[in-house]
Amino acid sequence: MATDNNRFQAIISHCKEYGFIFQSSEIYDGLSAVYDYGQWGSELKKNIKDYWWKSMTQLHENIVGIDAAIFMHPTTWKASGHVDNFSDPMIDNKDSKKRYRVDHLIEGYVDELEKAGKKAEGDALIASMDQLLAANDFDGLKKLIEDNKIKCGVSGTVNWTDVRQFNLMFSTQLGSVAEDASEIYLRPETAQGIFVNFLNVQKTGRMKIPFGIAQIGKAFRNEIVARQFIFRMREFEQMEMQFFIRPGSQKEWYEYWKEARMKWHMTLGIPADKYRFHDHVKLAHYADAACDIEFDFPIGFKEVEGIHSRTDYDLSRHQEFSKKKMQYFDPEINQNYIPYVIETSIGLDRTVLMVLSNAYEEQDLSTPEKPDSRVVLKFIPKLAPIKLAILPLTKKDGLPEIARQIMDECKTSFKCFYEEKDAIGKRYRRQDAIGTPFCVTVDHQTKEDQTVTIRYRDTMQQERIHINKIKELVEKQIL
Ligand code: ATP
């Protein structure tokens, strides 16, 4: 759980300075744990989203996508268990009045122990916490915090309230006339939009089990501790897939999806040792097995994705609350049943943060003659906001015209960026800072032999290639 707060802060500043991510409503001093994606952040996020969507709905013939509304009938959340159970154990510090999620408070302390070289002590504490959480033993959790003299980061005291549950759903009113208005929730997960549409999709798509329904969309949670940039937001996006299976086959499909999802992560250009699985000890009310895929963020190993074996809990509950049959007739075994479900649920914003954290590199390029450095975002080309920058060396001599021709030829196929201003070295560095993998420079030689200089972001190497080869070269890298 090595943490590197300086690196984390540097990434946050970089995101702001280079148009990736801004605090929401910044001119009004911001809204806590809500963020806006800027010009390059939104491209990066969209590329990740598209890549996930394609890998689910295009590469799997038995997975289809939907796009359900954020608002849902309020009974949905009674059936799903969120009204009663979507809460976290919290504890307040009586002096600072600051509220903490109990697990976060303890994990923060364990991080400190590890930094002080007391790893075994930290591991033991996490093990005790997991056991107490699994048993919903709130008194035990409070005692654990007190016995370890875990302090509030603000007041520095150990003056704690009892541990209590706190519901994380946001509610609002539907209907304009107050008397008739009913309370509805902003969905805290996208999954329920899939469950309530299970029969619609199965029947209209003539889907045969096993099959999946994927969805990308906003979710809202009134997170208590929300100060880790886009890692924990109050409004965020999820990419979820519910895979409907025959009861009894859940173990096998759970293992299948664990492996398949890890394989997907490996294609993001992130080394394997930056990931690990974390098996849940405390299972959610709906699950019979669950694990997280954790990534080694600068703030430590943390969850990016959950894989859950949800049994038939959700569909059974919707059947019970809606009084509509949620059954599937399986022609292969001639039986009706409520399908079991394996869910893969990944946070889009957390994936953005993961990709950014992995890509961010500060490099010292000093030579004995000259101090020099650069910040480079080493995105795989597929995810980079801009694939190709087209840079005429000067603003005259017909060079911009040639550069414009390249731009026109390439921009229908992938995102390009055209720039004339400033010295070429400066322009390269600006592209490095936003992660553009390829730059081509049009110079005077181009007029003679139709070649340009292509410069590769990661190696900074340059070579000359024919104008006709540019598009193909970039396209090959972004497949
Ligand atoms: P955590 O324990 O970190 O609160 P969770 O276990 O509640 O997460 P899930 O309900 O399994 O998360 O949601 C699936 C995914 O959605 C998570 O793996 C994470 O990537 C993302 N996610 C959940 N909450 C947030 C949030 N507040 N901000 C950003 N992403 C989130």
**Strands 388-392 and 164-167, bridge-based pairing:** unpaired
Ligand 1 pocket test target in 238, 240, 242, 355 with most atoms within 8 Å of CB: 238
Ligand 1 binding pocket mutation candidate from 350, 355, 356 (most atoms within 8 A of CB): 350
Q: Which has the higher per-residue pLDDT, 109 or 285?
A: 109
Residue 268 has pLDDT above 50, yes or no: yes
pLDDT at 155: 95
pLDDT of residue 260: 98
The answer to whether the beta carbons of residues 416 and 387 sit under 8 Å apart is: yes
User: Ligand 1 in contact with 217 (CB < 6 A)?
Assistant: no
Order the strands of the 275-279 sheet from edge to edge: 63-66, 211-220, 235-245, 340-347, 300-311, 289-297, 275-279
Q: Is the pLDDT of residue 180 over 70?
A: no
- The answer to whether the CB of 343 is under 6 A from ligand 1 is no
233 touches ligand 1 (CB under 6 Å): yes
Residue 412 burial (CB < 10 Å; 0-12/13-18/19+)? exposed
Q: State yes or no: pLDDT of 286 exceeds 80.
A: no
Q: Which ligand 1 atom is the nearest neighbour of the CA of 303?
A: 18
Contacts of 336 (CB under 8 A, 6+ apart): 327, 328, 329, 330
Q: Is 188 helix (H, G, I), strand (E, B) or coil?
A: coil
Query: For a substitution probing ligand 1, which of 21, 216, 236 has the most ligand atoms within 8 Å of its CB?
Result: 236
Does any ligand 1 atom lie closer than 6 A to the CB of residue 437? Answer: no
Question: Quick one: pLDDT band at residue 237, thresholds 50, 70, 90?
Answer: very high
- Which pLDDT does position 33 carry in this prediction? 93
Q: How far apart are CA 214 and CA 217, in angstroms?
A: 10
What is the per-residue pLDDT for 182? 83
Whose Cα sits closest to atom 13 in ligand 1? 345
Calculate mean pLDDT across residues 432-457: 98
Q: What's the pLDDT at 179?
A: 65
| Beta strands per DSSP E along 322-432 | 328-330, 335-337, 340-347, 360-364, 373-377, 388-392, 416-418
- Alpha carbon nearest to ligand 1 atom 6, residue: 306
Query: Which of 13-22, 125-134, 244-253, 435-444 is predicted with the least confidence, judged by mean pLDDT?
Result: 125-134
Measured from the CB, is residue 51 less than 6 Å from ligand 1?
no
State residue 84's pLDDT score: 86
* pLDDT for residue 226: 65
Whose Cα sits closest to atom 18 in ligand 1?
Answer: 305
Mean pLDDT within 160-176: 90
**What mean pLDDT value characterizes the chain?**
95
Q: What are phi and psi of 234, to 5 degrees?
A: -90, -25
The reply to whether ligand 1 has any atom less than 6 angstroms from the CB of 346 is: yes
Report helix, strand or coil for 171: strand
- d(CA 281, ligand 1 centre) in Å: 17
Is pTM beyond 0.95? Reply is no
pLDDT of the residue at 370: 93
For residue 345, give the ligand 1 atom closest to its CA.
14
Structure tokens at 192: 């329920």
For residue 22, which amino acid is it?
A: F
459 CA from centroid of ligand 1 (Å)? 36
Q: Is the pLDDT of residue 110 over 90?
A: yes
Distance CA 379, CA 22 (A): 20
Q: Count helices and strands (H / E) in the chain.
A: 16, 23
Structure confidence at residue 178 as a pLDDT band (50, 70, 90)? low
Distance 366 CA to ligand 1 centre (A): 41
Q: Is 347 in the pocket of ligand 1 (CB under 6 A)?
A: yes
How far, in Å, from the CA of 466 to the mean position of ligand 1? 47
- pLDDT above 90 (res 174): no
pLDDT at 130 over 90: no
CA distances from 139 to 162, 225, 284, 395, 423 (A): 7, 21, 20, 72, 65
Residues 304 and 49: their CA atoms lie apart, in Å, by: 14
Nearest CA to ligand 1 atom 21: 347
What are the residues whose beta carbons fall under 8 Å from the beta carbon of 252, sequence distance 6 or more?
Answer: none
CA distance 50 to 61: 17
Cα 5 to ligand 1 centre (Å): 21
Write out pLDDT tens, residues 347-404.
999 999 999 999 999 999 999 999 999 999 999 999 999 999 999 999 999 999 999 9
Query: What percent of the residues of the chain are helix, what percent strand, and what percent coil, each to the nearest 5?
Result: 35, 30, 35
Q: Which of 127-136, 248-257, 371-380, 381-390 has the lowest mean pLDDT?
A: 127-136
Query: Does the pLDDT of residue 14 top 50, yes or no?
Result: yes
Name the residue with the closest Cα to ligand 1, atom 10.
Answer: 189
* Confidence at residue 133, expressed as pLDDT on a 0 to 100 scale: 84
Spatial CA neighbour of 188 closest among 222, 160, 154, 157: 222
Q: How remote is the CA of residue 347 from the centroid of ligand 1, in Å? A: 6
DSSP string, 436-472: --EEEEE-HHHHHHSEEEEEETTT--EEEEEGGGHHH
Residue 355 near residue 44, CB atoms below 8 Å: yes
Q: Coil, strand, or helix at residue 112?
A: helix
| Structure confidence at residue 276 (pLDDT) | 97
Cβ–ligand 1 distance for 350 under 6 Å, the answer yes
**Residue 216: predicted pLDDT:** 98
Cα 448 to Cα 158: distance, rounded to the nearest angstrom = 75
Question: Which of 122-126, 212-216, 376-380, 462-466 has the least mean pLDDT?
Answer: 122-126
What is the pLDDT averaged over residues 323-339? 96
Instruction: Evaluate if residue 169 carries a pLDDT over 90.
Output: yes
Please name each of the domains of the chain with its CATH number.
5-68+186-272+298-356 (3.30.930.10), 386-478 (3.40.50.800)
pLDDT of residue 1: 40
Provide mean pLDDT across the span 118-141: 91
Q: Cα–Cα distances in Å, from 389 out to 39, 243, 411, 433?
A: 15, 41, 11, 13
Of the chain, the percentage scoring pLDDT greater than 90 comes to 89
